[in-house]
Amino acid sequence: MTTGAANRPAGDPAGTPAPTSGAWGVLGGTFDPIHFAHLAIAEQTRESLGLTGVLFVPAGVPPHKLGQQITPVAHRTAMVELAIGDNPAFSLSRIEADRPGPSYSVDTVERLLADPPRPWDPTAGLVLILSMEALLGLETWREPERLLRSCRLAVVPRRGYPVRARSWVSQHFAGLEDRVIELDGPDLGHSASSIRERVAAGRSIRYLVPPAVEAYILGHGLYRPGT
């Protein structure tokens, strides 16, 4: 993939090299539950950057949510499988779900690089997809500079966070600005927490999650009071 203006991802500042064609994207998260915004972010990033595919990586024990009530990973993983089943460019990775203890992105990325998905161009690397909100917390992550050196970051906007990603990285991780790609969207505005709240209140989540995920949530009684 060239880095000329005609081929540059929308919103990516001039001069930021795009990932090598053949790279895989990695979208991690609690996915409690997975929803259409996750899927739209993954698909737009895949298309914009020419990624081979996107790995969805449900966190087993999210380190930033220790002590919080989290839906068992078996349910969260099952919902991801249902949500991505109709897109051949999407794959599920259980690398964190099957690992005991908290999962850290830097460890996950390095494990994926050591045992990469297929098909794989070993020179292409990985692109970690995250929101602007998540990027602003990067300093609290385990060994963030090591993570930036291990993979590229594709940053999508988040409503209420009008910060430029490369400017923020320049201030906090000077010299690693070229590890960040800024994308224009999508910014669909809904969140997993609002979906859980709607289910708890007996309200519809149709058009917020894929139909198969909605059926799974209702069939297993997830997010109801007392469950």
Residues 193-209 pLDDT 10s: 999 999 999 999 999 99
**pLDDT for residue 89 is more than 90:** yes
pLDDT (tens digit, 9 = 90+) per residue, 108-117?
999 999 887 7
pLDDT (tens digit, 9 = 90+) per residue, 50-66?
999 999 999 998 887 77
Of 41, 38, 43, 44, give the one whose Cα is nearest residue 58.
38
Q: Is the whole-model pTM more than 0.85? A: yes
Q: What homologous superfamily does CATH list for 21-219?
A: HUPs (3.40.50.620)
Which strands make up the sheet holding 90-92, listed edge to edge? 90-92, 53-58, 24-29, 126-131, 152-156, 180-182
